[in-house]
């Protein structure tokens, strides 16, 4: 049995795929544009003794998502888990967010997670897991309106699926990191500083480090996957941002 990790060519997704492979899980390595990185992640997984399947899909394309999930399921002998990591950010002030920008961000981050869940959940046998990787933006409203709305929607999706599939023995949860040490976060911070926009940096953190390493997110996701009693939960991993 295997775990499919979407967005596994990126900083957080690749760390999750490596962590799961090191723990002995076979992994489906999904990517959209960066095939080279995805294949490198798969090679690393194999070095840990895991099996790996590389699949490409735009998560906004329902047929491509169905094909990718089916391929991992067939090549790796079944799915035991899915981690939805694929996502984008395109920060802008609200007047600059036209319909195309809004739809691209929301349909990737929220619609994409829904499509992957729709394709994968019927394949997850009792005891399977679905983990959505969200963001502090979904609870604190940071970064920008489109991104924050997509992640807040992901929290609602997580709880709805947990109620729907919990009776079938599938656990559905979410992990919501704060800033993570990735190139995407560097771009966000640069933009926020440029426009003096209220973002992550203006929300207090109760840890000495502002951003956490991707490996910390990966360990948290692995813990959620290992849990036998967690259902419909949002696990915050944000250094105390928004802590009251």
Active-site annotation, residues: 147
Task: Of 54, 53, 60, give the one whose Cα is nearest residue 36.
Answer: 54
Distance CA 162, CA 172 (A): 5
Q: Where are the beta strands (DSSP E) in 162-230?
A: 171-177
Radius of gyration of the chain (CA): 17
Q: Which phi and psi (to 5°) does residue 224 adopt? A: -65, -40
Count other Cβ atoms within 10 Å, centred on residue 194: 8
CA 56 to chain centre: 16
What SS3 state is found at 179?
Answer: coil
Give the count of alpha carbons within 13 A of 77, CB side only.
7
Question: How is the chain split among helix, strand and coil, in percent rounded to 5?
Answer: 50, 15, 35
Distance CA 188, CA 178 (A): 12
């Amino acid at each position: 049995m295997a775990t499919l990790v979407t967005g596994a060519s990126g900083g957080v997704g690749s760390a999750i795929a490596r962590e799961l492979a090191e723990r002995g899980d076979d992994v489906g390595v999904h990517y959209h544009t960066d095939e080279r990185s995805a294949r490198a992640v798969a090679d690393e997984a194999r070095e840990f003794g895991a099996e790996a399947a590389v699949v490409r899909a735009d998560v906004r394309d329902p047929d491509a998502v169905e094909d990718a999930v089916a391929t991992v399921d067939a090549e790796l002998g079944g799915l035991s888990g899915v981690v939805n990591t694929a996502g984008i950010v395109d920060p802008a002030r609200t007047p600059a967010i036209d319909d195309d920008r809004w739809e691209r961000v929301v349909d990737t981050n929220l619609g994409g997670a829904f499509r992957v869940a729709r394709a994968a959940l019927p394949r997850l046998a009792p005891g399977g897991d679905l983990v959505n990787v969200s963001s502090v933006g979904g609870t604190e409203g940071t970064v920008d309106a489109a991104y924050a709305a997509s992640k807040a929607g992901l929290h609602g999706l997580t709880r709805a699926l947990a109620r729907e599939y919990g009776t079938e023995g599938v656990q559905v949860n979410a992990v919501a990191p704060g800033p993570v040490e990735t190139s995407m976060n560097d771009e966000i911070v640069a933009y926020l500083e440029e426009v003096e926009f209220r973002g992550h940096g203006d929300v207090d953190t109760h840890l000495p480090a502002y951003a956490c390493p991707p490996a910390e997110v990966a360990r948290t996701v692995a813990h959620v996957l290992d849990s036998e009693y967690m259902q419909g939960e949002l696990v915050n991993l944000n250094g105390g941002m928004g802590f009251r």
